[in-house]
A and B are shown apart, each in its own frame.
Chain A
């Protein structure tokens, strides 16, 4: 067994987790968005008793079911992978991180899985009211599930409500409410769920436009479009507002991620936000004089205002964060080298504390315990070898952020246009709008994936911000084992995605005419 971690093991483990997470996110947002739209449609059926709505909801429910199954299947992989591929992480923060996962199972998964069965098998067995309740509870269960897993994810970005225990050598929760309702968690939940609603609306709108293009099921398509347009417009506006909140949080708790998103190396007050630009491929080092962004179109002062609500806010760049010395609310920022030094002091203090406890030397133990506590905020930095390891992939974050924000703006315009078109029926028959509507479906998926890239790739090299880098979070496995499972998942996911798309397209082509009342 090797006594040092093979760097490629970290890369393959990250690749496997990224593959699984991004694949999972192809299905979850549709469950969240389409689930709510279905629930609204079934409510219309319950209130009006118009069989048109029953037929409509059954059509969307069929597509929901095809998507739901694969979302469930891929969700369990993520839960397992925390243990299989990130075992040190599971121990080091399992005391905090495990709780949201368990609560997700008890509160959300059972609700989802119980009532989805009633939703599909209960049309003629339970009352209309109970069936409607089941559809709502399935959606609420999915949303609650999102809450708890996003609480867990937000905690990785902004670890709060915990304290390191040197006796058990792990972090332990000391404030559940701080974990469950941290501002990062609340904002992440709102932003992410709303992005799912936008995708659900884009999905319904796109398919409805396809029926209009084919001149089929016009009444069904227009009714679905009206719901999708209202729902999508409200969701996309709220999503943009929540996105602003996310950027504010990132600026506050993950300045390096923000700097990577902006390809900002040297920060200023009155810092502008780059609307468009090209990351300069010639920039090799964080401290060279090569300009980081070419052909940039900047909104003046915007970034300062975004992260501090004041244009005089100093926004640190990558070089500032590495070199330190810029003003923060806690005084001048430490340099990366200083943080790494403090991290090593913390790790050494832990070693000395353990020795002292074993030897029964209480005084020395207390001394080192205090030293550890004082330096613990930098514990994770002690595992780093050089300051450059702190820099995430700048081009990836820069472009992913722009894709997400750009598409977010597009969705607002798109749904506003569709809403107007719904009340000016002539517009709906225009081929251009119909094709735009259809092509908006993949754009909604791209926006969601881009958002997750920013969230996760921007956090690197940390598994838990400032506390545990990926290199210390890993399982001790052979690289070949992880490579094997990675490629098994690649093949499996590809086949299942192809099957899912083909089944979905076939069911869409069949249309709602096949649905019985």
Chain B
């Protein structure tokens, strides 16, 4: 097989994994939204919180769109199979993000038909639904989904669809697997931790800061419970491996554990990531003045999720296993774009550091002051 193609497939899986990591980190916006009514006990406090997450929601939204676009461009068979099959999961995720996108602006205006409270409830809904559903969907990367891919179907004029779902639930059946749900809940509680840490850094209102500190420990314990359960499960799980010489897919006991051992850099990334996540949380818990935990935990989140994606796809692993037809399972080699397209996209990806650069610059330029009543009065948009 063409070594350049193999390299580019690995490269693009890395980019997808990195975008996945950044997306989960940016779910701090959703985590913060889910805490809107818990941390904001009056109108002023809620508006402070809304103006804080409201400055960042578009980054999360855009990262989700880019994650989807990059997946489409680099691994179109996944896009075709998962989106067209797990219809209801993606539609629910979509619905929650549509509601989020309009709610920030609409909740701050009179005449919005539904009332401010309803739009704020939409934000809370997105705060719960997006991390849980996205986490559950990512869980299927390890636990599999009910689909069949048959490229020969394109030859049939009456039913030319090459991939289809085998259950009428169209993706909702993922919640029947407790390990998918465990990852969904782990992502949800991680998003709440990140949201809490973001508020701690960005707000100077004592009442909100106190609520942030109080809620951190329970969220951490619940996150650890679900995250560790999921990690232990996948380390002992049987994964699907692919024979690189002929593309045949076969089950392999302890596949993900083997991947970690075979890929020491990924294993190190995973360990460093988890340690960073815990460092941010622990330093915040033990010091009543420490407010920079978001950076430790945020960077740790990116590294941990990056490593999880990498062990799902690297080392000849089926990253999207089919539970009904093993040979339909998707690997980074059988689902990728062509060499030409991956090359074009690789050139485009060189611009990503520049994009990250201006995002960081712009982010810092509007985060110079911590939120309080005066700041809200002077700079509040929502």
Contacts and interface: CB of A to CB of B under 8 A. Distances in A.
Nearest to B352: A106
A275 interface: no
Among A68, A73, A105, A116, chain B packs the most CB atoms within 10 A around the CB of A105
Interface centre among B109, B158, B352, B358 (most CB of A within 10 A): B109
Given A87-B163, A90-B79, A105 B157 contact: no
Contacts of B160: 5, 88, 383, 471-472
Interface in A340-395: 347, 350-351, 354, 382-383, 385
B340 A173 contact: yes
B208 interface: no
Given A95-B338, A113-B59, A72 B68 contact: no
A110 B67 CA distance: 12
Given A83-B80, A95-B76, A98-B73, A4 B348 contact: no
Nearest to A481: B87
Contact of A498 (B113, B159, B359): B113
B72 A125 contact: no
Chain A interface size band reads 35 or more
Interface string A166-207: 001110111010000000000000000000000000000000
A386 to B, nearest CB: 12
Given A80-B94, A88-B160, A102 B61 contact: no
Nearest to A506: B111
Interface of A is mostly: helix
B152 interface: yes
B298 interface: no
A91 B101 contact: no
Nearest to B360: A114
A91 B58 contact: no
A488 to B, nearest CB: 7
A91 B64 contact: no
B188 interface: no
A189 B109 CA distance: 34
A474 interface: yes
A496 B341 contact: no
A503 B82 contact: no
A105 B62 contact: yes
Contacts of B55: 117, 121
B113 A173 contact: no
A3 B74 CA distance: 30
Interface string B209-225: 00000000000000000
Contacts of B365: 118, 122, 125-126, 130
A447 to B, nearest CB: 25
A495 B114 contact: yes
A5 B159 contact: yes
B66 A83 contact: no
Given A83-B90, A124-B378, A477-B87, A66 B105 contact: yes
A505 interface: yes
Contacts of B87: 84, 475, 477, 481
Interface string A391-427: 0000000000000000000000000000000000000
B361 to A, nearest CB: 9
A49 interface: no
Interface in B323-364: 337-338, 340-341, 344-345, 348-349, 351-352, 355, 358-359, 362-363
8 contacts: A69-B104, A83-B68, A85-B84, A105-B70, A110-B355, A169-B151, A478-B168, A506-B111
**Which 3 A-B residue pairings sit nearest by Cβ, starting from the closest?**
A87-B84, A83-B83, A94-B76
Interface of A: 1-5, 65-66, 68-70, 72-77, 79-80, 82-88, 90-92, 94-99, 101-107, 109-118, 120-126, 130, 134, 165, 168-170, 172-174, 176, 347, 350-351, 354, 382-383, 385, 471-472, 474-478, 481, 485, 488, 492, 495-496, 498-500, 502-503, 505-507
Interface of B: 51, 55-56, 58-59, 61-62, 64-66, 68-70, 72-74, 76-77, 79-85, 87-88, 90-91, 94-95, 97-98, 100-102, 104-106, 109-114, 151-152, 154-155, 157-166, 168, 170, 337-338, 340-341, 344-345, 348-349, 351-352, 355, 358-359, 362-363, 365-366, 368-369, 378-379, 381
Given A70-B102, A83-B80, 8 more contacts: A101-B69, A102-B66, A110-B66, A124-B379, A351-B155, A475-B87, A495-B114, A498-B113
